[in-house]
Amino acid sequence: MQNSGIEVLFEGSNFERLLGGLLVTIEISFVSIVIGTVLGIVMGLLRTLNVKPLQALLRLYLEAFRIIPILVWLYVVHFSFTPLLNIDISGETTSILVFSLWGAAEIGDIVRGALQSMPKHQEESGAALGLSRGQLYRYILIPQAIRRMVPGAINLATRMIKTTSLVVLIGVIEVVKIGQQIIELGVIKAPTASFWVYGFIFILYFAVCFPLSRISRRVERRWQN
């Protein structure tokens, strides 16, 4: 019997399960991106202020997320911190927590970088016009900084979406794990299933990440001048 393996995608409720897994992936990454962006903007603004202890603290926070792998964060938070504090949260909540904090750290750095890259004369011209510090940020610096933030932020968003494949290790069943379940079940009947399942997962990730790249390009072009 010729069995190409592609049928495995449509067996039982496999197709819906894969899409359901994708939904988990999307949920974790998008909620985290939104929370991370809000916190990150606040953090970026704080980091442009010249307060030494605050600077050190925020820098430490950023480096902690940059240096320690996200996998380690997930593991430590899920299996050590939360049980230690006697909180029982689901793997999904842990994932959103860790990804949000990671997002906040990285977005904070992107915001800081964008603000500090503004030519000094922008700030000085604004001050010469008699704008207060708040007005300076609101009307001159932030609108221009946002334009510079877009590529970095979109890059981070796509990275986060792809990194959700790690959450399986704390028991969250997302799209890649469901794919592996289907492959393992199919091993007996269709040994080539892995090609089709991973191929399909590739298309799913592409379908989520590609629009983000397009939006990024469009936004950049629109704000060019």
Partner 1 sequence: MRKGMKWAVSFMAAGLLLAGLTACGNSDNKDNSAGSASSKFASIEQLKKDGKVRIGVFADKPPFGYVDADGKNQGFDVYIAKRFAKDLLGDESKAEFVLVDAASRVAYLESNKVDIIMANFTVTDERKEKVDFANPYMKLSFGIVSPDSAPVTSIDQLKEKGQKLIVAKGTTAETYFTKEYPDIELLKFDQYTEIFAALKDGRGAAIANDNTELIAWAKSNPGFTVSIPAFGGQDTIAPAVAKGNTELLNWINTELETIGKEQFIHQAYNDTLNEVYGEGYTDELVVEGGKVE
Asked if 180 interacts with partner 1 (CB under 8 A), we say yes
Q: In this structure, what are the phi and psi dihedrals at residue 209, rounded to the nearest 5 degrees?
A: -85, -35
Asked if 139 interacts with partner 1 (CB under 8 A), we say no
Task: Indicate which single residue of 25, 163, 194, 216 sits in contact with partner 1 (rule: CB under 8 A).
Answer: 194
- Token pair for 175: 């799209």
Stretch that binds partner 1, among 111-119, 144-152, 164-172, 212-220 (CB under 8 A): 164-172
Asked if 199 interacts with partner 1 (CB under 8 A), we say no
CB of 206 to partner 1, least distance (A): 21
Could you give the C-alpha distances from 49 to 43, 71, 72, 112, 152, in angstroms and in order? 10, 32, 31, 10, 22
CB of 154 or CB of 167, closer to partner 1? 167
Asked if 38 interacts with partner 1 (CB under 8 A), we say no
- Residue 9 neighbours by CB distance under 10 Å: 17
Q: Evaluate whether 89 touches 82 at the Cβ level (below 8 Å).
A: yes
Closest to 56 in 3D by CA, of 45, 47, 69:
47
Asked if 177 interacts with partner 1 (CB under 8 A), we say yes
Q: Evaluate whether 7 touches 195 at the Cβ level (below 8 Å).
A: no
Given the rule CB under 8 A, which residues bind partner 1?
Answer: 11-14, 17, 56, 59-60, 63-64, 67, 75-76, 78-84, 88, 168-171, 173, 177-178, 180-185, 187-188, 191, 194
